[in-house]
Amino acid sequence: MTAPVPGRVDPRVAEEFPELRLWTLELGGGRARSAPQVRERLRHLSDRFLGGHALQLRAQPIPHAYRVFHRHIGLDPDEDRVLVEQVVLERLRAGRFKSRSLLDDALTIAVMETNVPLWALDADTISGDLEIRPAVEREPLGRRDERAPWLPEGRLVVADGQGPVALLCGDVAAGHGVTRETERTLLFSVQVAGVPAIHVEEAFWIAADALGA
């Protein structure tokens, strides 16, 4: 696997959050059927992660760091949950980590093993490099769906050269997610204060390994 590539952070954002980093990694393929060994790994992860672990999660250093960052950017971490908490909540509701696709399973494994969030974009819908920046007034979230919502000015987003493609620590814009037709997948992660870079790199490595990259 090649090393993750640093993305750009707008100087105004970097001034307020000097330890904030954006990382990307391009891989081949899209949302294919999960492999038997990956589904088996997901089953083992389900057996390891029980209800008691969920109660302890927020106190662990990396989830706590993302909860603090959520508050700093105006998100309520009890409403706009950090990604690992979203994954855990789905597991508790379903009784296990459900296998959905090779990509989804790989991201679930990486997030649960490291607590570091990873998101995926269709690389062929992206123009130029990604950056973290504030949205401008009445800027749409994505450009591949005419129903794309308008963003409030100042909302932090992950954007390419033509506009926002994801909310920072939130949803990927419609039309930019990975599908079965995707030929190139772009993974990205956000590193915040209190999260060592080695953990972010490990998350990418685990996902790429599960994807067979």
pLDDT tens by residue, 142-194: 987 777 889 999 999 999 999 999 999 999 999 999 999 999 999 999 999 99
Beta bridge partners of 139: 151
**DSSP letter string, 105-135:** HHHHHHHHHH----EEEEGGG--S--EEEEP
- Report phi then psi at 211, rounded to 5: -80, -5
**DSSP letter string, 128-165:** S--EEEEPPTTEES-SS-TTPPEEPTT-EEEEETTEEE
Structure tokens belonging to residue 114 = 């490291």
Q: How confident is the model at residue 213 (pLDDT cuts 50, 70, 90)?
A: low
* CA pair distance 4, 180, nearest whole angstrom: 24
- Which residue's entry shows tokens 């504030």? 134
Express each pLDDT in 121-139 by its tens digit: 999 999 999 999 999 988 9
Rounded average pLDDT over 90-113: 93
pTM of the prediction? Answer: 0.93
Express each pLDDT in 191-206 by its tens digit: 999 999 999 999 999 9
Rounded average pLDDT over 206-210: 96
pLDDT, the chain, mean: 93
Structure tokens belonging to residue 85 = 């908490």
Structure tokens belonging to residue 135 = 């949205």
- The distance between the two most distant Cα atoms of the chain, rounded to a whole number of Å, is 47
At 28, which helix (H) or strand (E)?
Answer: strand 21-28
Q: How confident is the model at residue 59 (pLDDT cuts 50, 70, 90)?
A: confident
